[in-house]
Amino acid sequence: MALSERTDKYGGMLHASDIKKSYGQVDALRGVDLSVNAGQIVALLGRNGAGKTTLVSIVAGLLRADAGTVEVDGVDAVAQPGEAARRIGVAPQETGVYRVLTVRENLTFFADLAGVPKRNRSKQVDAVAEQLGLTDLLGRKGSELSGGESRRLHTACALVHRPRLLLLDEPTVGADVATRQQLIEAVGGLAADGAAVVYTTHYLPEVEALNADIVIIHEGRILDRGTQAELIERHHRGGLWFTVEGEPPPGVLDGLDVMHRQTEGDDQHRFLVGGDVRMADLVDRFGAQASQLVSVERNLPDLDRVFMTVTGESSEPDEQAAS
């Protein structure tokens, strides 16, 4: 299935189409489509400089695109930025809480800014504080919070008006395990209540924990999209990794699909062979030279490797295949 066909099935709360953005000579986004349904969590996965923050900033209305359209809950975000903004909650990468205001005042201020009616304000502030473990800190000033507490407040400020589209740019940077867990649970809860979520992170276990739909972005383009299982199914090559002391004996590699080889240390060679090779067959091939085999392991399906394969920066596949 072509990527365009695969992404077509995702409509709904956010529909960004053919977004382009350059900073001088740098083409940060080269025609990106991103659609997210209500109740869906999309993890934007990409290396540093891939274009994630640029995309999130454009969708949030914080940055103007050079080309393309953004629709949020049916509202044209370029023509009606105010209308769109009311539906969006955004927590940019840099935390931005008011240091002189208390936690409650910060949350109330953001609720007010987002147009939450006065009668609902304190109820929503209390609810989001509870959700992110801030209840005991409501009276504390922004300047008196730890890094992780500030991060939680920063995210809470994006949630307090119960947005239909939530944009979180690396929300767990610098957070401890408990904070991470709280944030992930809060995000999962919002999606379960029908919010659409775009979540950028470099931390793959989070993507797994969120059970997110994964969008791989690389050098300003979306290269693939799917669940973890779908991406692994499409890109995982199976096979075995093995390390050999010295050169492998003549004939050992004959007929094998050698996808990768690299030299390790002084005189060790590491190989990845694809397909259905069994460990025992490989050892048989070495025969009397089996002691040359330092290690053999199955090439397990792994999101990290799939990501590297898709972005072409793999320690595996195609262009690096053995000569």
For residue 292, give every residue at least 6 positions away whose Cβ sits within 8 Å of its Cβ, in sequence order, or none: 244, 245, 246, 248, 249, 286
Distance CA 303, CA 299 (A): 12
Applying CB under 6 A, does 23 fall inside the site for ligand ATP? yes
Nearer to ligand ATP, 50 or 165 (CB): 50
Span from 46-54, 70-78, 142-150, 207-215 in contact with ligand ATP (CB under 6 A): 46-54
Nearer to ligand ATP, 93 or 320 (CB): 93
Span from 42-50, 68-76, 144-152, 284-292 in contact with ligand ATP (CB under 6 A): 42-50
Applying CB under 6 A, does 25 fall inside the site for ligand ATP? no
Q: Please give the size of the binding site for ligand ATP, defined by CB under 6 A.
A: 11
Span from 2-10, 22-30, 172-180, 301-309 in contact with ligand ATP (CB under 6 A): 22-30
Which of 35, 37, 40, 53 touches ligand ATP (CB under 6 A)? 53
User: b/e map of 196-209 (b: 16 or more CB within 10 Å)?
Assistant: bbbbbbeebebbee
Which of 32, 46, 77, 306 touches ligand ATP (CB under 6 A)? 46
Span from 21-29, 207-215, 241-249, 296-304 in contact with ligand ATP (CB under 6 A): 21-29
Applying CB under 6 A, does 42 fall inside the site for ligand ATP? no
Min dist CB 82 to ligand ATP, Å, is 24
Applying CB under 6 A, does 229 fall inside the site for ligand ATP? no
Applying CB under 6 A, does 52 fall inside the site for ligand ATP? yes
- The number of CA neighbours under 13 Å toward the Cβ of 165 is 28
Quick check: 21 and 65 in contact, CB under 8 A? yes
Which of 8, 9, 18, 26 touches ligand ATP (CB under 6 A)? 26
Nearer to ligand ATP, 32 or 252 (CB): 32
Applying CB under 6 A, does 54 fall inside the site for ligand ATP? yes
Nearer to ligand ATP, 109 or 203 (CB): 203
Structure tokens at 150: 């500030």
For residue 235, give every residue at least 6 positions away whose Cβ sits within 8 Å of its Cβ, in sequence order, or none: 224, 306, 309, 310
Which of 8, 18, 49, 312 touches ligand ATP (CB under 6 A)? 49
Span from 47-55, 179-187, 221-229, 230-238 in contact with ligand ATP (CB under 6 A): 47-55
Helices (H) and strands (E) in the chain, counts: 11, 14
Min dist CB 177 to ligand ATP, Å, is 22
Which of 1, 4, 5, 48 touches ligand ATP (CB under 6 A)? 48
Quick check: 183 and 155 in contact, CB under 8 A? yes
Distance CA 94, CA 305 (A): 29
> Beta-strand (E) ranges in 191-291?
196-200, 213-218, 221-226, 240-245, 258-264, 268-273
* CA-closest candidate to residue 56, choices 149, 158, 180, 142: 158
Quick check: 238 and 276 in contact, CB under 8 A? yes
Q: What is the DSSP letter of 142?
A: G
Nearer to ligand ATP, 22 or 69 (CB): 22
Structure tokens at 29: 């986004």
Interacting residue ranges for ligand ATP, rule: CB under 6 A: 23, 26, 28, 46, 48-54
